A and B are shown apart, each in its own frame.
Chain A
Amino acid sequence: MSTAQSALASRRARPLLTLRARSLLTGYLYLAPAALCLLATVAVPIGKAIQLSLYNDVLFKPQEYGFAGLANYIRLVEDPVFWLTLWNSFVWVFGSVILQFLAGFAAALLLHQAFTGRTVIRTVMLLPWVIPGVVVGLIWEWLYQPNYGVINDLLIKADWLNDRVAWLSNPDLAMAAVIFTNVWRGIPFFAIMLLAGLQAVPDELYEAARIDGAGVLARFWHVTLPLMRPIIVVATATRIIWTFNYADLIFVMTSGGPANATQITSTYTLMQAYANLDFGYAAALSVVLLLIMLAFTAAYLRITKGVEETG
């Protein structure tokens, strides 16, 4: 971000006006395809979603199609499942992100050390993050499988468990199980982001702290953490947004069940559109989702601005 902006800010010496006009035109020409893409696949659909949310539009009830005003939004406010999904989203997002951050930070610290085979281990460790969400969901569904799953088997062999547990169909355990899967998937993201942050800390600072008598912990607390604050804020915020929007994993593993125990707002929206074919209500839900995200993004941009100014 900062490299882009600094280059943007430094303009070259003012060229002739005609040349400038021509280069401006070229610039717009180069931008046109990207702008067109976003217009057709993002901007117009968002407008359409807002419009849809004001209509009664259930695919298999075409005779009821028509303008409905705010009916979908009123239904949303009165829908107890919607409020449940908001709470579930909160648990899902913060459970996932906090654990991913802690484990990712530990992984970054390990990978920051010099050892033979570092590149290999780093590549291997990143795998969970690059594979498709469906694949992650299916792998873990198999690991959690009550009768043939290896997790139950190992826990029973270790005497931590007496009976086989149906991880994904027990309402009390399902959320923890999907969060754990998401943590597995998300650790590499934090690990690479924070590793990049660690590598940007100048060695001289550690040397200076060491000469001043700071131990390992003191160096971590007073040198590493303060210097990494900007990247921690950026990585955490992008991850929160991404996790809040992410529907694939839960959709594959539980479809929000059992009894909505793992239903987060984005999967609920998806189920309304995909399973119930209720586009009007799904659109209303997605507009609310978008508003929550915009509010969070606005807050986040203010915070990062503060970070950049103080840091």
Chain B
Amino acid sequence: MKRRGIPSSAAERVLGGPVLWTGLAGLTAFALGPFVWMLLTSLKNRQELYATPLRYLPDHPTFENYVEAWTSPITPFSRFFLNSLWVCSATMVATTAISVLAGYAIARFRFAGRDTLLLIFLATQMFPSVLLIAPLLTQWRALGLIDTYQALIYSNFSFTVPFTVWMMVGYFSSIPRELEESAMIDGCSHFGSLCRVVLPLAAPGIAATAIFAFVVSWSELLFAISFTTQTSMRTLSAGLLYMVGQYEVQWGPLSAGVIMSTVPVAVLFTFLQRHLIHGLTAGAVKG
């Protein structure tokens, strides 16, 4: 308890010193260990990968697994990557636009059924996504959208929109409405004051919302495997699973694929973790 002044009891000195540092070391090792192992695996060649006894560090680190995964004609990881990039970017842009408008409306306008609507948005997050698979599959098939990006993007809305609307309501509510009122007195329309006053102030929140939508769609698996049949339409998650299903598992290229799928979300998250955490916990902490 360092930050509250000089430790006063023996218990506090032990808790603040050895216990703290051992705990932190253990925590970090536990969180990072599996990644490190996967990274080491991805840098090993075939012999080192399947050596007995197990070899921990690669003697001759190589990027051949990355090259193989990226260029393989049977499991084209580069194609999966681009598919994911496109589906997630489109989901992100559309979700953000939709939730900015809806969040603003809920935070600022008083209308009948608003509380019910908020509750519906909340309840939607509790629905199992397996519930949606059979009906959505029937729906997309009837519309001829199987094996299209649209089917995946639209399906992603089912879980991104409800949550991001809640996040946006929180951000907009924290912006004093006097600012908009004075803008409107100065001659701005509702939409004008939204664009010129509210959006700039809410920019960090909007960025967090956008990243959130991107990251959760990046993880999406069940819709991706259900609504696409062609290899060329697989997203990263679906593609990784497809790599496992192809023949005996090729852990070399697969581990390279795992690392490549992790890096984009890890980087995005690192940049925006403060805002994301704020958005996620805002609803749950009082005061």
| A contacts, CB < 8 Å to B | 1-4, 6-8, 11-12, 23-24, 26-28, 30-31, 33-35, 37-38, 40-42, 44-46, 48-49, 52, 106-107, 110, 113-115, 121-128, 130-135, 138-140, 142-143, 145, 147-148, 150, 153, 184, 187-188, 192-193, 196-197, 200, 203, 206-207, 210, 215-217, 230-231, 234-235, 241, 244-245, 247-248, 251-252, 266, 269-270, 273-274, 279, 282-283, 286-287, 289-290, 293-294, 297
Q: Determine whether the beta carbon of B27 is less than 8 Å from that of A7.
A: no
Q: Determine whether the beta carbon of B41 is less than 8 Å from that of A142.
A: yes
- Considering the complex, which residues of chain B in the window 109-163 have a beta carbon less than 8 Å from any beta carbon of chain A? 109-111, 114-115, 117-118, 120-121, 123-124, 126-139, 154-155, 157-158, 161-162
Q: Determine whether the beta carbon of B270 is less than 8 Å from that of A2.
A: no
The segment out of B16-24, B60-68, B202-210 that lies at the interface is: B16-24
Find B221's partner among A42, A114, A128, A132 (CB 8 Å cutoff).
Answer: A132
Closest to B16 in A: A113
A-B contact pairs, 10 of them (CB 8 A): A3-B173, A26-B109, A48-B139, A127-B266, A131-B266, A132-B261, A140-B34, A145-B251, A192-B281, A282-B134
Find A114's partner among B3, B52, B237, B283 (CB 8 Å cutoff).
Answer: B3
B11 at the interface (CB under 8 A from A): yes
Name the residue in B11, B31, B120, B128 with the highest tally of chain A Cβ atoms < 10 Å from its Cβ: B128
Cα A279 to Cα B2 in complex, Å, equals 59
11 new A-B contacts, CB < 8 A, other than A153-B53, A215-B9, are: A31-B106, A40-B157, A45-B131, A106-B23, A121-B28, A126-B273, A132-B237, A132-B262, A184-B31, A234-B284, A297-B126
B43 at the interface (CB under 8 A from A): no
In the complex, per-residue mask of B9-49: 1 if CB is within 8 Å of any chain A CB, else 0: 10110011000100110011011101101100100000001
B170 to chain A, nearest CB (A): 6
Q: Determine whether the beta carbon of A132 is less than 8 Å from that of B286.
A: no
Find B240's partner among A135, A203, A293 (CB 8 Å cutoff).
Answer: A135
Q: Determine whether the beta carbon of A289 is less than 8 Å from that of B131.
A: yes
Number of interface residues of B (CB under 8 A): 113
Cα A275 to Cα B283 in complex, Å, equals 38
Q: Determine whether the beta carbon of A34 is less than 8 Å from that of B173.
A: no
Cα A255 to Cα B20 in complex, Å, equals 39
Q: Determine whether the beta carbon of B130 is less than 8 Å from that of A286.
A: yes
